[in-house]
Amino acid sequence: MRLGSGSVLKVTLGSRAARWHAWRASVALAVGVLSLGLVSFMALLPAEGVEEESAPEETVALPAPIDVEKDEPPEPSPEPPPPPTGSGVDCSVVACVALTFDDGPSAHTGALLDRLEELGVKATFFDTGANARARPDTVRRQVEDGHLVGGHSWNHADMRKQTPATACSDASRTADAIREASGLDASLLRPPYGSWNTGILRACRGKTFVLWDVDTMDWSTHDVTKITDHAVNDSKPGSIILMHDTVAETIDALPAVVSGLRQKGYELVTVADLFNTPLAPGQAIYSGPRTGVPSP
């Protein structure tokens, strides 16, 4: 059956209208889906002006500060008085003598130190460098026991048979050995054999040469009675008495020597204690001042 031209036109228009409505419906659906997705995405975003909260940082507990009380600065103390002499004896008033011992330390020095301690006497030792190096413990005890220590060359060499430079270098080497053993800066020097001259004295800067005015001759006689007689009978106020701690008989004579000197009114002190002022370097002394009065 054939339709008329009007029928064909209506069918064609009807098909186009259906396609138009379908397209519009598809577009609306797509827009709806997109709108829903956009709304969901916007909901996930943080609100404007609000920072995203971060995980709290781990905190470390610090100790509480300690309240330290500050001390007030101490008031300056008054100037201390000058230290007394080692013996505490004023040798300008009381007659004093000094026992001195050369050539050690030796195998006898320990016994001599024991005897001096028993008798309550402080003495002066003039050690050789070689013996000080060999017996540092004995040198240390000499100082710790309150005795005075000086040098006596390295190996008992005659200083006048050397050049001044060599003699003083030898003396410095000896002082180094004494300092290493005891910590004492030995500024006193006894020239071996009492042999010296002004050129050597000037060259040995910082040293005081200590000689003697009483020789007990212990090194020669080795006799207890003769040693005692020389020490007691030949002494005067301020005397420096020469003895040797290498001589066993000297140790045996010591109680009689000390007793005899004390009976004559003498105080027994170190060489430094004979003087009212510190010993100045660059001088040679044979005795202390002839001052003081023996006690009755």
How far is residue 117's CA from residue 112's CA, in Å, rounded to a whole number?
9
How far is residue 290's CA from residue 92's CA, in Å, rounded to a whole number?
8
Catalytic residue among 147, 152, 244, 245: 244
Question: Scanning the structure block, which residue is given the tokens 């004492």?
Answer: 184
213 annotated active-site: no
Catalytic residue among 102, 103, 170, 273: 102
How far is residue 46's CA from residue 56's CA, in Å, rounded to a whole number?
19
269, amino acid identity: V
15, amino acid identity: S
102 annotated active-site: yes
User: Do 213 and 286 contact (CB within 8 A), yes or no?
Assistant: yes
Three-state secondary structure string covering the chain: CCCCHHHHHHHHHHHHHHHHHHHHHHHHHHHHHHHHHHHHHHHHCCCCCCCCCCCCCCCCCCCCCCCCCCCCCCCCCCCCCCCCCCCCCCCCCECEEEEEEECCCCCCHHHHHHHHHHHCCCCEEEECHHHHHHCHHHHHHHHHCCCEEEECCCCCCCHHHCCHHHHHHHHHHHHHHHHHHHCCCCCEECCHHHCCCHHHHHHCCCCEEECCCEECCHHHHCCHHHHHHHHHHCCCCCEEEEEECCCHHHHHHHHHHHHHHHHCCCEEECCHHHCCCCCCCCCEECECCCCCECCC
Q: Which residues are catalytic?
A: 102, 244
